[in-house]
Amino acid sequence: MRSTARVVGIVVELIVLWLISALALLVLDAVFGGVTLDTVVVDGRATTLPAALALALVFGLLNAILWPLVVRAMAWIGPVMLFVAVFLAGGLLLMLSMILVPVASVDRTFDLFVMAALLSVFSSVVGGVIASRSDTSYRIMQVRRQRFRRRPSVPATTTPGLLCLQIDGLGHGVLRRAIADGVTPTMAKLVRDTHRLVPWHTDWSSQTGASQLGILHGCNHNVPAFRWYDKTTGTVAVFSNPRDNEQREAERADRPGLLAFDGASRGNLFTGGADDNVLVVSRMRGARLGGDAGYASYFFDPSSALRTVVRMIAEIQRELRQGFHQRRRDIRPRVRRGGVYPFVRAFTTVVANDITVAAVVRDLIDGRSIIYADLIGYDEVSHHSGISRPETLAVLTKIDETIRLLLATVEQADRDYRVVLLSDHGQSQGATFSRRYGESLAQLVDRLCGDPERPESEDLSAQADAEGRLYASASMGSAGEKTDVSPPSDRPVVLGSGNLGLISFPRIDGRADTESIEDAYPGLLAGLCGHPGIGFLLVAVPGGGSVVLGADGSVDVATGAVTGTDPLRGFGPDALEKIRRTDTFDNVADIMVGGAYWPETDEVAAFEEQVGSHGGMGGPQSTPFLLFPKDLPHPPDPLHGAEAVHAVLTGWRDAPSPAE
């Protein structure tokens, strides 16, 4: 009976949409002079209604029949370019409709494409109103359609599923303030009624690549930063490169991922062992983009794509306006926000969000056992605007609304779900290293080494982009960042990952130690240690072992013995343990540079051009959050490292329902 009622409901929806679409065609016919509906005489009155009804019916049928095939054929081009193709395909379908039922004439082709786009947008709005009278209409409409398309056999179970929603880059402290200030009412209600909010502590590399590899695959060993130099190959590995991410997963093939059993990975860097992936970077390589990236199903409904386009345009103009106001009011610290960034912001806050959320809705209706989705918009905007400025908090409010919509979907799902919210890292704020001191980390290294300043195109420490831009590049089938970096002169390779710097010396075999570095580059270590923008250095010593060097003291990594002033003071009680772990990595840089941290202002100086940054230690970047139902076992306190979070989520995934 329930299946019959669903079918009847969808048929009624289609009839109503047909009639209202015909009415919309009448309005569009009056507005756009480039397309003219044929007039017929009925009972002595001239009318274009029959033409509108016929054209709306055929256009609707062609959309239903041909659209999925069109989307699959175009999926290889990537989701960004697919929006343009969607616009063109809509016009072509309307043109085909006019050929099949010649009830209109076309004088201006552009008007035809615009009419097709507006007709689809109008259908989206009307469909949402039909589905629900609440402000969650669009998602509820998606729920009904996904029920109609659900998996053929969904196993019945009383075991609750686990929905994990990652808010990329949101620190525990920022979330607490947002809850207190009414910025995130949905998450506030969870904290006060059903969930517990606790912090957890990242590894030294406080960035999405290290955290997600640990959370989803249970191991992030040999991950010193978001990007690092490999001496054996002369290349830079970077977490925005699908090929590199695929390799990271292959290295952990013997470990069952968090999502290995009936799991779904949405908008992440890695699959976590899931066979079903949408916008997952490790599945975005080359010809695999269209099939394995999994976003094509979102575009099966043309109104979804057009709705997203409208919201993209609004987000772009919002960024342009906010960037102008920030410059006019001289708000500092700030970074350049022009170029392609407005489009990257629209991609991360709208495109990736809409595709990811639509996939999660489908997963919930299908009854997936475990779902892990990454909402990346806050992280990208924080990099350019700051971690808790009004425009950034406005993005966080939108994410909170998205969570509310998904919680409403959970209520409609046939399977019970436990909902866990978490972040992969926080962010720390401050003027960048280059803006404070007038040179990048690479330029500083060149100066101390006595080398001529390298061209800007070779300055990888300043060239590095925020994850959002690189993620957008990967979604179009591009690695997005130069990886073959060995210079002919064998000059040092300098990379930045937030306020974590990595310096490698291609002409020194193996891991360089203090003696070999001093022989090759006299005064480099002393110059780096004495720089006000650098907090400490990790470097090997002759005969084995390593040392942390600061301006006025040092720490023996193995014993923890401090000589002079402890360079790790202020970086947290777990700083040495984080350094010890990284020191064991095979690919640790010759010099690991810990950027300065100023506790009095809670600021860092990122080696990348970012207002809000992460990747190293110092401030809130190392303290993300975990928000979980009260009926689940409490995690260890304190909770250290992404691998420990993997163990916690695995236990929650396998936890029986209270009734059992």
Give per-residue pLDDT as tens, 386-420: 999 999 999 999 999 999 999 999 998 999 999 99
Beta bridge partners of 229: 236
Residue 211 backbone phi and psi in degrees, to 5: -70, -45
Q: Where are the beta strands (DSSP E) in 299-457?
A: 370-375, 417-422, 428-429
Q: State the pLDDT at residue 148.
A: 46
pTM assigned to the model: 0.82
| Cα dihedral: 561, 565, 571, 574 (round 10) | 10
Omega of the bond leading into 573 within 30 degrees of 0 (cis): no
Q: State the pLDDT at residue 518.
A: 96
Which parts of the chain sit beneath pLDDT 70? 1-10, 13, 64, 67-88, 90, 120-157, 286-306, 455-489, 657-660
Q: State the pLDDT at residue 70.
A: 65
What dotted CATH number matches 162-222+250-300+342-429+620-653?
3.40.720.10
Q: Report the C-alpha gap between 337 and 347 in whole angstroms.
A: 15
Nearest residue to 345 (alpha-carbon basis) of 301, 395, 390, 393: 395
Is residue 485 within 8 A of residue 506, CB to CB? The reply is no
Q: Report the C-alpha gap between 44 and 593 in whole angstroms.
A: 85
Q: State the pLDDT at residue 94.
A: 77
Q: Domain extents for the chain? A: 2-131, 162-222+250-300+342-429+620-653
Is residue 68 within 8 A of residue 75, CB to CB? The reply is no
